Structure 1
Amino acid sequence: MADPREEKLAKLLVQHSVQLQKGESCLINAVDIPITMTEALVRAVYDAGGYPVVNLWNQRLERVMCEQATKESLQKWADVDTYRMKQMDAFIGIRGIANVRELSTIPEKSNLASTYYNIPVHMKTRLPHTKWVVLRYPTEVFAMQANQGTVEFEDFFYKVCTEVDYLAMAEAMAEAKKFLDTVDKVHIKAKGTDLTFSVKGMGWIPCAGRMNIPDGEIYSCPVKDSVNGTITYNTESTYHGHCFKDVSFTFKDGKIIEAHSDDDALLNEILDIDEGARYIGEFALGCNPGILKPMDNTLFDEKIFGSIHFTPGNAYDDCDNTNRSAVHWDLVQIQRPEYGGGEMYFDGELVRKDGLFVHPRLTCLNLSL
């Protein structure tokens, strides 16, 4: 039986996130989600006067496709999907979580797929050439990751996805951006963290419900060779099927020269995928007031109120320090008091303490539901 909240979510994605116009084509990439959600998206695209194109996919098939994959097979797959993506005006990617460990035993194949499939299809085609949004669907596995009951988690999911005032969020971020765009030096201090870098000339990009749902971040990018010091992340993060804990990076002139976690070998294997994986491609401030606890899901955790994420790997085209990589790994540090606190300085001035903005030009980002 369809959940009426699926219809509301579908309309938000089509009308607000990708702002689909009459006559535009929209690829719906539906991975391990109920058919009712896919149907709701198709109806919403038609209601907007658009043309829906549907790709039904699942995690087990993804594993089978990767298990015996070669560079050549992945390039052929990517050629087909790149051609299709180029015909699209918009992309809605919605993925359920069936098994977060599905790819954990084939990390080398996952890395190969990142290089020869994800980069051409998503990094080089979808990101710069379509209006896109990606999100997760509230499955039982997702609820378990969040340490919540299924019904409780579904209520939380729809609240933070569809009940946030994204127009008000966009206005607050636009106001904050006027100040942020003037910033040069950034200094972050927290437990296990003393990190400096420059964002001079990089600009800041507000995210208020367009590319992600839920949303609530404003991001920039460090000048590539400016990062020095150490950062320790206090949230877990699953990447290529392995849940990493206690990740810590030490930088010199932009490059990660030391990397530690509960699995140093696997962590460094990821960072050695290519040269760009050891440089940072994104720095962002999380400010969704409805998301307060980590749940080992990037699209939620990176929006946590009072957090930052500092991302090894590929930079986005709209905030580009020229770093290129098959990796883009959003790792999160929460700075609210219950997670150890933290301070952020812009050009030597304290702007955020223990997760709350204290600078008068940025207090607008202390949002509430």
Structure 2
Amino acid sequence: MENELLKLSNTIVNYSVKVKEGERVLIITNGIESKFLIKALIRDIVKVKGIPFVRIVDNEINALLMELTNSKRIDELAKHKKEEVDNFDVFISIRYTENEYEGKHINTSIRKEIGEKTSKSDDIRINKRKWVLLNYPSLIDAYKIGMPYDEYKNYAIKSMNFDYSSMEQDIKPLKELMQKTNKVRIVSPNTDISFSIKNMNIVPCCGTSNIPDGEIYTAPVKNSVNGKITYNTPSPYQGNVYRNVSLIFKDGKIIKATCDGDNEALNAIFDTDSGSRYVGEFSLGLNPMITKPMGDILYDEKIIGSIHFTPGKCYDDADNGNDSSIHWDMVLIQNKEFGGGEIYFDDVLIRKDGKFVLEDLKHLNYNLK
């Protein structure tokens, strides 16, 4: 496993963020369990003459700070985040799941104020700096999907070490097809939704911002979304986990949102601001090493045969004009064992039950049976 982690470190430093001489690199983690990887990252950064810094945070302490905060402290937090993005060139974030319900009790208005006041710094970090995010495998992650920890850790690290340079070549025909596409239709159990991606930029993701990676995203034309979508994987957000989230759209806007649980809390998220009931991202998951939900959006959104359709802020490189302080990736898996489904581009069937059916795209099915 140490060799796999050394390989991962090399991939992050020399491929994902391509650290250059003199660049200031901030490694942020909430889990000291990733210490071996952090030490490897420090060595690899120094090898290329970068300047590494490390910040270790604690989720319980952060939750307490948020619980006891006020507007003055949030202003100071926003100032600190602005200084941080001004002072660093590269951000490597290593998350470690301890308790996904930590902070569940924090008032929605506090989260909203923090989101609004720190959004400009977040925009700079995401769109103007080099960054990569990974979730280090934890005991809780293994427990959630019913695997022994060592087996799960091996599975997770292997999915991170996928050959992204090969994927970058494999994905080109799909990108070209999406660039020519106007109308997209997605059909699955309790799902029939249509929208346009005409003239929208298409962005392949092959190990440069997320680890693991493997998706291709764009955004729908903002007011073009109509129909219903039901997500068949759990959707964690702000300390809650929402199941079987179902959204109905009219002219781009979510007009009804339900789930198997707290519908009031669900709708409060979509009432965060004027952009939170519109969609900022449409993406196809392509990582063949990830075949089932892991309860971690960084993995689940890459599941081969899946899509995610994301209420909230769009990315600058696939800009449909939607601005919001939320960006909530929610996943629909269309593989046969999850109920199946179809994707149509301009009324032509592109993918059925998670498998691409066009000859030019069948190589992207990888290990799907």
What range describes the TM-score normalised by the shorter chain of this pair? over 0.9
**Cα contact 1:136–1:299 (8 A) shared by 2:** yes
TM-score of the superposition, structure 2-length normalised?
Answer: 0.95
- Answer whether contact 1:46 1:52 (CA < 8 A) is retained: yes
1:179–1:361: 8 Å Cα contact kept in structure 2? Answer: no
CA contact (8 A) 1:33 1:137 kept: no
Secondary structure of 2:6 counterpart: helix
1:314, distance to aligned residue in structure 2 (A): 0.4
Give 2:181's aligned residue. 183
Deviation at 1:149? Answer: 1.3
The answer on whether the counterparts of 2:171 and 2:204 sit within 8 Å (CA) in structure 1 is yes
Q: Does 1:45 align with 2:45?
A: yes
Q: CA deviation at 1:7?
A: 2.4
- Which AA in structure 2 matches 1:339? F
Q: Of residues 200, 210, 215 in structure 2, which corresponds to 1:202? A: 200
Indicate the residue corresponding to 1:347 in structure 2. Answer: 346
Contact persistence 1:33–1:95 (CA under 8 A): no
Distance 2:263 2:230 in 1: 14
Deviations 1:59-118 (A, max 9, x none): 11210221122233122112112212122221111110111110111142334333333x
Q: Does 1:15 align with 2:21?
A: no
Instruction: Return the offset for 1:8.
Output: 2.2
Q: What amino acid maps onto 2:95 in structure 1?
A: R
Which runs of 5 or more residues in structure 1 are unaligned?
A: none
Aligned to 1:318: 317
Deviation at 1:368? 4.1
Same amino acid, percent of matched pairs: 41
Question: 2:362 & 2:264 partners in 1: Cα distance?
Answer: 41
Q: How does 1:223-238 map to 2 (within 5 A)?
A: 223-238=221-236
Residues 105-144 of structure 1 correspond to what in structure 2 (within 5 A)?
105-108=105-108, 109-117=110-118, 119-122=119-122, 124-144=123-143
2:11 maps to amino acid:
L
Q: What residue in structure 2 maps to residue 74 of structure 1?
A: 74
Letter in 2 for 1:113: I
Rounded Cα–Cα distance in structure 2 between residues aligned with 1:251 and 1:313: 14
Q: Which runs of 5+ in 2 are unaligned?
A: none
Give 1:247-286 correspondences, 5 Å limit: 247-261=245-259, 262-286=261-285
Within a 5 Å distance, the mapping from 1:203-222 to structure 2 comes to 203-222=201-220
Q: Is the 8 A contact 2:225 2:251 kept in 1?
A: yes
| Counterpart residue type for residue 174 of structure 1 | K
Distance in 1 separating the partners of 2:208 and 2:346: 30
Runs of 4+ in 1 over 6 A off after TM superposition: none
- Count, aligned residues: 365
Asked whether the 8 Å contact 1:176–1:364 carries over to 2, the reply is no
Name the aligned partner's letter for residue 352 of structure 2: K
Q: Secondary structure at the match of 1:194?
A: strand
Could you tell me whether the CA contact under 8 Å between 1:16 and 1:210 is conserved in 2? yes
| C-alpha distance in structure 1 between counterparts of 2:222 and 2:148, whole Å | 42
